[in-house]
Amino acid sequence: MEEIFGRHRQDFDEIRKICLICHGLDLSTSSFSLDSSSWEISEQTSRILQNVVSSSILQLAVALRTNLYQKNIPHAEKPLTDSAWLYYDKELIERPATLKQVCDKIIHADTFSKSAYPKSMSDHTDKICTQLRGTEFKIKGWTLNIVLDLLAEDILQILDEIEAEMPNKSSQGTQKSCAPA
């Protein structure tokens, strides 16, 4: 019998596509609080937007985590100093989160939120964070703050660096296969 599938596969082009979706969603949701936007978001649209953003960041986290565990992305512990910060509730010391921490926290978050500034307080240079909260081992509360458009840019940069460093890795990931059991 011939194997059709050997393992989970989320190639770099799929990750890039999800990054671009997340990038656009973050810029769109941030623009709702700008003075130039005359539109007030309805409850129905807000609910749908939450579903779209939630499913997109979950897809991104799963695609990245799959590649991290398959060793296609060797930068699991690289701090994302410009796009993601993590703190534990008892410490309240915010530190840059690693790519692996971002993936794990997105997947295991109990809540995620993004607030829009009142239009009168809007500053066009501000980046509005998406905040995810959860608990490790049901006792250690944490908060992850991400600027989703900057996170997407960091991930795209990491993928470009991997492909530049390792010509045998294409946008399709590595060509290793899993031996049947």
Q: Does residue 77 belong to any structural domain of this protein? A: yes
Q: State the Cα–Cα distance between residues 85 and 133, nearest whole angstrom.
A: 12
Q: Does residue 174 belong to any structural domain of this protein? A: no
Hey, what long-range contacts does 28-32 have (CB within 8 A, 24 or more apart)?
29/53, 29/114, 29/116, 29/128, 30/116, 30/127, 30/128, 30/149, 32/116
Q: Does residue 4 belong to any structural domain of this protein? A: no
Beta-carbon neighbour count of residue 9 at 10 Å?
Answer: 14
Q: Does residue 2 belong to any structural domain of this protein? A: no
Q: State the Cα–Cα distance between residues 138 and 66, nearest whole angstrom.
A: 25
Q: Which two tokens stand for residue 5?
A: 């599938």
Total tally of structural domains belonging to the chain: 1
Q: Is the pTM of this model over 0.85?
A: no
Residues spanned by the domain of 48: 12-165
Q: State the Cα–Cα distance between residues 14 and 173, nearest whole angstrom.
A: 10
106 forms beta bridges with none
Q: Does residue 3 belong to any structural domain of this protein? A: no
Q: Does residue 178 belong to any structural domain of this protein? A: no
DSSP conformational letter for 165: H
- pLDDT tens-digit profile, the chain (181 residues): 888 777 777 889 999 999 999 999 988 887 765 556 666 778 898 889 889 999 999 999 999 999 999 899 987 898 999 999 999 998 888 999 999 999 999 999 999 988 765 555 555 555 678 999 999 888 899 999 999 999 999 999 999 999 998 776 554 444 433 334 4
